[in-house]
Amino acid sequence: MKKLLLLTLTTLLASCSSIPGQIDVVSHTKSYGHQVQKDIVRKGDIAQRFEIRHGDCGGDHKYDDCTNDRRRVEISNFNVPITSTTWFGWSMYLPKDFQTLGRTNTTLGQVKTLKVRKPILGVLAREGVLMVSYDIAEDVCRVVDDIDTLKGKWTDIMIKLNFDTTHTKDKIYSEVYINNEKVCEMLDPIIDRGTSDVYYRYGIYNSYVSRWLDDNKTKNVNLETFNDEHTGEGLTIVSPTNLPWDVDWGVKLPTQVVYYDEIRIGSSRESVDINMNDDAVD
């Protein structure tokens, strides 16, 4: 299936996913951006294929990726059921020619709250490393030091999140599992705000794409530095420009393709662990 109307996509995913709530495709909606396909599947009959190319950006009156140094194709799942502890699980396939983009972030899954830009948690590929970044933690958790080891096969990811905002001694606030092996845990709170209106996004999201373009350009360019201020969060991130798609760099940002399958959210490990569930979630 090479094309799928948004209405059909919403109906299909809502009927066979374990995640309730609204589902939509954000940023760019080209036909190749999101497809349901049968060739590369983790379990069951179908999986989702995402593709993003140079200049694939979009936006609305609230936020415009094209003028904020970004590109993306993601699916958002709203109204995530939140308990004191919530588990997120998904399977991800990186083709053998998948490239990380140097200092540019490639986010491959994020948990967010509405009206707050910085995610509670983000799974990132950057400079050849797969890592997990938390809202208020000072350090990222490096979960795979060589992302090349994940290419050409399915990787099962599970993340446990405890949304308590106060510190309790010996309490584990997050655990990260890659292919059933625990690779990271957090002993401090991962969030400093309420957890109403939590949602989960997956797909491909590149932020600060001008970093890769500037590092790899073959032409001289005149740029005005972009100071990306996260209003109300006390955070400013600097990149070469906010208008990367208006610049002739002499190079184009590489295309990225990622496959997703078995996306689950639940209150226990048993509810999201692919090895503990016989039925497929397509």
Name residue 162's beta-bridge partners. Answer: 85
pLDDT of residue 13: 36
Which pTM was predicted? 0.89
pLDDT of residue 282: 67
| Domains in the chain: boundaries | 6-208+258-276
Kindly list the averaged pLDDT for each block of 10 residues, start to end, along the chain of length 282.
30 37 68 94 96 90 86 85 87 98 97 87 96 85 96 98 92 96 94 83 96 98 91 83 97 98 94 93 77
Assess contact for 239 and 245: CB atoms under 8 A.
no
pLDDT of residue 16: 35
CA of 167: how far to CAs of 159, 162, 186, 190, 196, in Å? Answer: 19, 11, 11, 10, 20
pLDDT of residue 23: 57
Q: 6-208+258-276 in CATH: which number?
A: 2.60.120.200
Give the residue among 54, 30, 29 at the shortest CA–CA distance from 244: 54
CA of 258: how far to CAs of 35, 99, 126, 139, 224, in Å? Answer: 11, 11, 15, 26, 32
CA of 263: how far to CAs of 43, 96, 266, in Å? Answer: 11, 22, 10
Cα separation, 130 vs 159, in Å, equals 14
Cα separation, 83 vs 219, in Å, equals 52
Contacts of residue 222, Cβ cutoff 8 Å, sequence gap at least 6 = none
pLDDT of residue 60: 64
Token pair in block for residue 70: 């970004």
Cα separation, 150 vs 41, in Å, equals 15
Give the residue among 40, 43, 34 at the shortest CA–CA distance from 272: 43
pLDDT of residue 48: 95
